[in-house]
Amino acid sequence: MFLLWLFGGLLIRTVSGLQGTIYPFANESIDTPIVSTTSGRFAGLTIRQTNVWIGIPYAASPVGLLRWQKSQPYVKNDSQNDTVRNATYYSPSCPQTIREGGSSGPFDEDCLYLNIWAPHTPPPSTSTGYPVMLWLHGGALQEGSSTQIVYDGLSWTNAAIQVNKSFIMVSINYRLNVFGFFAQSALIDDNGQTIANQGLSDQRMAMKWIQDNIGYFGGDKNQITLAGQSSGSTSVCIHIVSPLSIGLFHAAILESGSCDTVSYMFDKQFAYSTANDLALRVGCNMTDSIQQLACLRTINSSLLFTNAINVSIPLLTSPPFKNLIKLGQVFPFNVILDGIEIPIHPLQAFLSSAFNHVPTLLGANQDEFVLRLLYEEYFHPPINAEDYLTRVLPIATYNQSDIATQYNLSVFSGNYSEAFIALMSQGMYLCAARRMAGYMAEQSTYLYTYNHAPEFYFLSLPTLIVRPGAYHSSESFNLFQTLAPSLYGNQMFLSDEFNLATSIRRYWTNMITKHQPNDDDDNDNMNPIWPQYSSLTDQTIVLDKNITTATFIGIYANCDIVSAGHVKIFGEYLGFNATCAAGNQCFIINSTLSTSTTSQTTSIHFPNMTLSTKVDNA
């Protein structure tokens, strides 16, 4: 497709590559900024006070022989050296299930593209450039896309410019499901090491691209905040424990997603089993694994995905995973404890302090499981009181009676739906966020609980939520503040919500620009001050229409018991004895590390230190 752009008195031909939909605010553009990058030259848009580039390739197309390889750098061809390409159309989303309200497509394996929102005005000559946020979308590592308008960066970046706290936002697509989290016995690199977690390597390739190119957009490569929500947040967590990501980001934001006791991180044998089942379904059931892999790479992506979602789940017998399939969906292709991307299990890394210590803002929402997508699609809610007591409660509490007692139906006046929402919201998200804050408190760490139920009609539809509450992802509406080209900003909130939305945006913007959420300008009158987290004080900020601070355990009284139980059961699975004492103090009691655990390594190397993962008996 050829377009003509009139820019600076010059006629410039722009060539579009593989395209999705046009950027929804493109009709507001008043200029055509052109930037040169390692991926080529691109013409974008100037809208309000922001320059926007949509659909820039950051990695080689992962097709053909590159299907399931680690992410490779994008290399422009000779014909692209003198060509200005159009960066006003979204790329296709990565292949996934089509869901109402989700990514609208088109879908294609050639999906590794990014989008950039940067201030139109260049940074001051005295500065090192604008701070940068890289956003990782959620979707259980199975679905989602940077093309979803709820992640559009225009409103947020413009608001930051107006209060003199400008930053650059980058959003990306990364491989998902069978294309992004696949392992097979013949799928190894030149050193004979397992190749898996391709989606995580895509995220890291985007970080490297930012290091190489963000200066061309006015950004500072030494002020990168890695942020995400849900599985995007879990991805951020994994990069925190991965030495491969050291130096590629300098602060982190985790919204409703941790990784220390994540219930869908399986080992390589699980992955090899699902790969073999997939091969059988698509006619690649060779006994030779090399031939099998070559055959799988020839299968049409649509056929491969259609069969992948029906792959049988291997029998899960280890206590952390036993009977999970009776509680909710177990996806056959998900994050894998591969020993490379994830060198040791995150729980072991956090308890050993073997992770990348960066300033971190994190938290979760009071009623995560009110969202129907979680409540009744990703999970199987109880159908009556007996079902809750005999199926849900034992599985979700790992058969630990001290936890089960806290979520007995008598605590919820017999309401099994409310018991399920509290059990799952606190066990999977809230107590996990507090635990993460405890691990990371040696560095500046800020913990929140988001407790506000959205009031705007389209954010509180019965088709969206089970009942009003601070549901999964609802905090992010305050950040991006975009639902449609004609529905954004204050239109998304009732008047009594304006202060909350403005405050949340400001806290997050400060974290991106200063690596701490509080203002240092008396004119901004931020109230209250967000306290730095410490296990000694357990202080959190409560994000509601009336923003307050409180002790986390004062709001969620079960978290000490929940965390102790979760850490214990995952520690036993990994071969060591661990617990969490009252006050959010989690630690390894003694070590009997199993040699069969795929997560074992001798040490992890971080800048200026080598952290041994072996723990002496106490």
pLDDT band at 591 (very low <50, low <70, confident <90, very high): low
Please report, for residues 383, 399, 421, 472, the alpha-carbon distance to residue 415 in angstroms, rounded to integers and kept in the order given: 11, 21, 10, 21
Is the pLDDT at 13 greater than 70? The verdict is no
Q: Identify the pLDDT of residue 520.
A: 79
Structure tokens at 528: 């209250």
Q: How far apart (Å, rounded) are the C-alpha atoms in residues 39 and 58?
A: 7
pTM for the complete prediction? 0.93
φ/ψ (deg, to 5) at 519: -80, 145
Angle at 295 between CA 112 and CA 106, to 5 degrees: 30
Distance, in Å, from the CA atom of 11 to the CA atom of 27, rounded to the nearest integer, reads 20
User: What is the three-class DSSP state of 579?
Assistant: strand
Enclosing H/E stretch for 507: helix 498-514
**Cβ within 8 Å of residue 11, ≥6 positions away:** 4, 5
Specify the pLDDT at position 145: 96
Specify the range with the lowest mean pLDDT, choosing from 125-139, 228-242, 339-353, 513-527: 513-527
CB within 8 A of 269, min separation 6: which ones? 314
Task: Determine the 3-state secondary structure of 23 from DSSP.
Answer: coil
Provide the token pair at 45: 């848009």
Q: pLDDT at residue 521 above 50?
A: yes
* DSSP 8-state code for residue 390: I
Q: Which neighbouring-strand residues pair with 89?
A: 22
**Identity (one letter) of the amino acid at 296?**
L
Average pLDDT of span 104-125: 94
245 is catalytic: no
> Can you give the pLDDT at residue 3?
27
Domain borders along the chain are 24-73+91-267+342-381+420-562
Helix (H) or strand (E) holding 285: none
pLDDT at residue 594 greater than cutoff 50: no
What's the CATH fold of domain 24-73+91-267+342-381+420-562? Rossmann fold (3.40.50)
**Helix/strand/coil for 521:** coil
pLDDT of 523 higher than 70 = no
Residue 600 has pLDDT above 60, yes or no: no
What residue type is 426 in one-letter code?
Q
Contact of 470 with 367, CB cutoff 8 Å:
yes
The DSSP symbol for 366 reads T
- State CA 80 to chain mean position distance: 33
User: What is the C-alpha separation between 350 and 356, in angstroms, rounded?
Assistant: 10
Confidence tier at 612 by pLDDT (50, 70, 90) = very low
Q: Using the structure block, give the residue that is written with the tokens 């752009």.
A: 5
For 290-359, where are the E strands, in sequence order? Answer: none
Name the more confident of 80 and 486: 486
Candidates 145, 146, 201, 230; catalytic one? 230
- Average pLDDT of the segment spanning 66-74: 98
Q: What is the pairing mode between strands 445-450 and 360-365?
A: parallel
Given a cut of 80, whether residue 606 has pLDDT beyond it is no
pLDDT at position 613 over 80 = no
The dihedral region occupied by 362, where left means phi > 0, alpha psi between -120 and 50, and beta the remainder, is: beta
Predicted confidence at residue 601, as pLDDT, reads 36
Digit-coded pLDDT (tens) for 536-554: 999 999 999 999 999 999 9
Contact call for residues 90 and 76 (beta carbons, < 8 A): no
